[in-house]
Chain A
Amino acid sequence: MSKLSFRARALDAAKPLPIYRGKDMPDLNDCVSINRAVPQMPTGMEKEEESEHHLQRAISAQQVFREKKESMVIPVPEAESNVNYYNRLYKGEFKQPKQFIHIQPFNLDNEQPDYDMDSEDETLLNRLNRKMEIKPLQFEIMIDRLEKASSNQLVTLQEAKLLLNEDDYLIKAVYDYWVRKRKNSRGPSLIPQIKQEKRDGSTNNDPYVAFRRRTEKMQTRKNRKNDEASYEKMLKLRREFSRAITILEMIKRREKTKRELLHLTLEVVEKRYHLGDYGGEILNEVKINRSEKELYATPATLHNGNHHKVQECKTKHPHHLSLKEEASDVVRQKKKYPKKPKAEALITSQQPTPETLPVINKSDIKQYDFHSSDDDEFPQVPSPVSEPEEENDPDGPCAFRRRAGCQYYAPRLDQANHSFDNSDLADLDKLRYRHCLTTLTVPRRCIGFARRRIGRGGRIIMDRISTEHDPVLKQIDPEMLNGFSSSSQTVDFSSNFSRTNASNKHCENRLSLSEILSNIRSCRLQCFQPRLLNLQDNDSEECTSRKPGQTVNNKRVSAASVALLNTSKNGISVTGGITEEQFQTHQQQLVQMQRQQLAQLQQKQQSQHSSQQTQPKAQGSCTSDCMSKTLDSASAHFAASAVVSAPVPSRSEVAKEQNTGHNNINGVVQPSGTSKTLYSTSMALSSSPGISAVQLVRTVGHTTTNHLIPALCTSSPQTLPMNNSCLTNAVHLNNVSVVSPVNVHINTRTSAPSPTALKLATVAASMDRVPKVTPSSAISSIARENHEPERLGLNGIAETTVAMEVT
């Protein structure tokens, strides 16, 4: 008999159990022990009591004898039932009613005094009764009232007299007796009462306090795991929801106001149109009278971005939006949304794998929605949606979000028309917003008139302006300008300058190519050309005094690192304490993070890119494109990322020479080149090992610890998007998804730079833009956390008010 050769199945409460009795009973030896299969049920007793002597004895007795033995019961303290005065005490009889007893609650509330007289009271009563008649109940009522009227403080005799409706002598007698008795009594009251809880919680542990009130708490069901904590969570949730409702209602109100504003604007525009007030003169006239009043209303213009920081706004009072309808039209065109449908269409038509790729969270896109340079390609953009539509769907997820604390200026007047010609401000504007002939390094070509400015996110944005000279300018060979590149001088340019497409009614006389060239040569026309780097020879022309060791090389990417080194040597104000390894490791982490992000974005970018590519009029005019093309096409395999910053120094130098207003930007920009290089380097390292490894090594090798931090905190506006796209491409390659050669021509229409880059950019941008943030403050924050480069950007953000939210 192998008894325990198998394990008994678990006991199933739903399974029928056959019952064996008497002679049918199998030999219990055949039965398998079920101890394991049927868990021993707990007795439900306290553990320590379970082992008590008498209980154990009783249990074992019961199990042995199957019944209780008299001597084996659990002993208890004795009780007697021999109260012999019982019948005298409980007088009378109570006949059992035939019906079940049903009691009404109010029957219980009889007005009987709670106080019960004792023998001592009886003595007094007997004494008093000699003089007057007083019944025990009467006495009890008196004491009861006195007791209930007093707390710790006894009622006074006067109060007692008011309280008791008896004659004064009796009251006095009872009162005095009561006071005496009360003083002698040990309890707080002559009516013994259960101790009450005190509200201060001091009685929480008093064993004599009983029947405490249950505080109002939700009764929760344990079997639903609804404990107090989750109840509190629910409360919190509710609070938050109601907050959300409030916020939404406020938004609703705001949007309504915005719509109203829009309608008003439209009305004004229509009126102006009917009046033929294209120059805004009439409006100005009207407005001057009311300027005082309207001052407050201005910052709320709806759809002009922060593209145009117009100086005149500071001098004049800021304009109402409607003041320059044309301008706002133009601006609106710059926004992204018109392109979106196109891009999507392209996705469906050209991209084979859009569905398989992860859907990009719209909010993600939104938060990266910088108005990057490519936004400015308004000439190619189809006409914008009508205003009501815009109201309904204000740019969708790509809508521009106004940020508190940021000042947004009205669109530039001069951009749209030549009204400034006659204005006092014209000169100032000329200086500040001069468009100059611009040439790009890679590919080498002239992009016509453009204006450089620092965009959001710190990128360099080229505002191109289409002029009648465009066909001519296209023919300009950069080489032709080489001779006088960077020797840009003040030019009487504005006169030659044409207006935007939107307002191309006003035409200037066209200049011929040769005229332009001669203008340039004669320094009448400013010409901007990014400086090229060369490793080998010091191009004296290119090198400024500030960058003695800088070399220019057209094609060699590694120049970047050299440049970087130089830059940092230039003493770009920051010295960090971070070691190279620290930085490296950190970069690796960052890269990891970025890669995920970028993998997501890559598809988006691709589509955008392709859309751009297919734009017939693209003419390579989009600045971003140009910037991407500053990348050495030979090193277009994205090891080029290491080189991204190569153009930066020269560029910024030029900028410096040209425009002192940009000086501090340059200071910031230059180190950023370093950071970017490193950044992309490590990126390349991790995402596509093997490619451009040499360059990477070199870059890293060249960078001393000093630059790393400043580099990080102050990313170059220009290289940032580049970097991003490089990274994107890197990921692209890495993923071995569809790699089109197109990707090599990195498209910087990155609506979504990587988060880190973003942070960096934001810092840079904020340094640039927000006056109260000095670079040094950001830098000091860097110094504090110098081994955490990633957080630097965030830190900077935290310490400064930033125009962009980075989440």
Chain B
Amino acid sequence: MAEVGEIIEGCRLPVLRRNQDNEDEWPLAEILSVKDISGRKLFYVHYIDFNKRLDEWVTHERLDLKKIQFPKKEAKTPTKNGLPGSRPGSPEREVKRKVDVVSPATPVPSETAPASVFPQNGSARRAVAAQPGRKRKSNCLGTDEDSQDSSDGIPSAPRMTGSLVSDRSHDDIVTRMKNIECIELGRHRLKPWYFSPYPQELTTLPVLYLCEFCLKYGRSLKCLQRHLTKCDLRHPPGNEIYRKGTISFFEIDGRKNKSYSQNLCLLAKCFLDHKTLYYDTDPFLFYVMTEYDSKGFHIVGYFSKEKESTEDYNVACILTLPPYQRRGYGKLLIEFSYELSKVEGKTGTPEKPLSDLGLLSYRSYWSQTILEILMGLKSESGERPQITINEISEITSIKKEDVISTLQYLNLINYYKGQYILTLSEDIVDGHERAMLKRLLRIDSKCLHFTPKDWSKRGKW
């Protein structure tokens, strides 16, 4: 049993967390930061194997101090200078590798009691810790790895194309932790998921106030009020290129409308882990989806897109704002992005890495789109309907690789009698039909007024 005062960064211990079903759980978590607010200690915890967005500040009451594991002396703890500590989202990988290196065959009895929730992780960690003789070796390897990591990520500037960075450059303790507590945007109060580089003096505010239309940030409600007397925007400051019902899409040029683009990016960064705001927004177009009501065109979500992509990306970042999530808007955004690609006559794919939600959304969209086509195929003159992957790709503008991966994921593709066939099981068909019933929001290509520009001919973006 450890004292609260002993808890330092790098400690691991079960932390009380309420799950979606309102049940209490004690997942293993790592202490990333400790702060003292008027004598009361708060601990920033990352739940191991949970996404970073669930990281939070907790009081010591939620910590199971009985099962605390202290970091090794030499263990990498998150440091201010951005050197990687144990990495949220990746402890599994890190630990496993170490165990493999150190003692693949001889598990060492642990000194402390095994952790209850994630025994593998816990024991693995201790296996390393309890081996003084081999510690050095593992540590050496560890530092090698780390130095590599840090050289990969932090010091050098990220690539200039694209809008996402891989996880490596996020090992900085600052960017690993949420810095904005709450954002007020229109009717909504959003709890950010990730770090966002809003001006640092604003990060201490309990609420950051954003203008719903121009997304400008203010430090107080009064500021927002004052701002609204000066800001007469009631829609994103771009050209409307799609409108059907209440749904509209606005196209914003990241070069021509910098302040809006930057504000949008700052907001989006709160919910996109891998998004980088390192460089300016010039090479991007932003497609903002809005929902109209009598107050104006309210932002629902957006996606950004490189004006010229070298890798067939038709989406850079894509986000449905949390209040609108799980209502089909995400799929609408995706569908819209492919509509644009269809107009351009290209196939496209979202920029990588995908987030977990991104992967699910895209998979879902791909599955539904492809199944829609497959099931729509009618047999001609008694022949069995058939289609090539290229045809699917052309029809949908979904990149060939994504088509294949979807077919694989759905387990539709099989090798039968010397050839590949697509099999639509009743299971699949039923599932698809049920899903399509729920998918009410669709893009109507007739409502799209969009002429793609050839950005390469315009000089620089």
Contact = CB atoms under 8 A, between A and B. Distances in A.
A116 B226 contact: yes
The 5 closest A-B pairs by CB, nearest first: A66-B431, A41-B405, A187-B201, A48-B90, A94-B234
Interface stretch (A23-31, A277-285, A478-486, A551-559): A23-31
B25 to A, nearest CB: 11
Interface string B360-391: 10001000000000100100000011111110
Contact of A58 (B197, B360, B400): B360
Contacts of A188: 201
Given A22-B426, A222-B311, 7 more contacts: A14-B388, A16-B387, A45-B359, A47-B93, A73-B326, A83-B188, A85-B221
Given A52-B89, A195-B197, A43 B311 contact: no
A214 interface: yes
B256 interface: yes
Contacts of B415: 8-9, 31-34, 37
Given A18-B384, A214-B160, A221-B310, A32 B416 contact: yes
Nearest to A78: B191
A217 interface: yes
B421 A20 contact: yes
A207 B199 CA distance: 11
Interface in B267-312: 274, 277-283, 292, 294-297, 308, 310-311
Nearest to A36: B415
Interface of B: 19-21, 49-51, 53-54, 82, 87, 89-90, 92-93, 154-155, 157, 160-161, 166-167, 172, 174-175, 184, 186-193, 195, 197-202, 204, 212, 217-231, 234-235, 237-241, 243, 248, 250, 256-258, 262, 265-266, 274, 277-283, 292, 294-297, 308, 310-311, 321-323, 325-326, 350, 352-360, 364, 374, 377, 384-390, 393, 400-402, 404-405, 408, 413-432, 434-435, 449, 460
Given A41-B405, A49-B167, A211 B277 contact: yes
Contacts of A221: 310
A75 B354 contact: no
A214 B279 contact: yes
A66 B408 contact: no
Interface stretch (A96-104, A413-421, A582-590): A96-104
Contacts of A397: none
Given A13-B388, A21-B424, A86-B186, A96 B292 contact: yes
B368 to A, nearest CB: 11
Given A17-B413, A102-B240, A211 B354 contact: no
A73 B51 CA distance: 13
B197 A41 contact: no
A220 B456 CA distance: 11
Contacts of B257: 105, 108
Given A119-B222, A193-B199, A208-B200, A43 B390 contact: no
Nearest to A16: B386
Given A43-B354, A44-B353, A90-B186, A116 B224 contact: yes
27 contacts: A15-B419, A16-B387, A18-B385, A20-B421, A38-B413, A41-B402, A44-B350, A44-B354, A49-B90, A52-B356, A74-B51, A75-B54, A78-B322, A79-B322, A83-B184, A83-B186, A93-B295, A94-B296, A96-B297, A101-B248, A105-B256, A116-B224, A118-B219, A194-B197, A210-B262, A211-B281, A212-B279
B167 A19 contact: no
Contact of B295 (A20, A51, A53, A90): A90
Contacts of B359: 43-45, 55
Contacts of A62: 360, 364
A207 B356 contact: no
A219 B455 CA distance: 12
- The dominant DSSP class at the A interface is loop
B278 A86 contact: no
A142 to B, nearest CB: 14
A74 B353 CA distance: 18
A247 interface: no
B279 to A, nearest CB: 5
B204 to A, nearest CB: 8
A186 interface: yes
A89 B374 CA distance: 50
Contacts of A44: 350, 352-354, 359
B197 A208 contact: yes
Contacts of B82: 205
A18 B199 contact: no
A400 B265 CA distance: 70
Contact of A209 (B190, B197, B221, B422): B197
A112 B227 CA distance: 9
A140 interface: yes
A67 interface: yes
A26 B238 contact: no
B187 A18 contact: no
B53 A83 contact: no
Interface string A141-159: 0000000000000000000
A204 interface: yes
Contacts of A32: 414-416
B304 to A, nearest CB: 13
B423 to A, nearest CB: 5
B434 A11 contact: no
B418 to A, nearest CB: 8
B30 to A, nearest CB: 14
A15 B353 contact: no
A192 B201 contact: yes
Contact of B197 (A37, A140, A185, A207): A207
A223 interface: yes
Contact of A118 (B223, B239, B279, B427): B223
Contact of B222 (A22, A95, A122): A122
A219 B283 CA distance: 11
B278 A210 contact: yes
A660 interface: no
Given A21-B429, A100-B449, A192-B199, A76 B184 contact: no
A393 B212 CA distance: 80
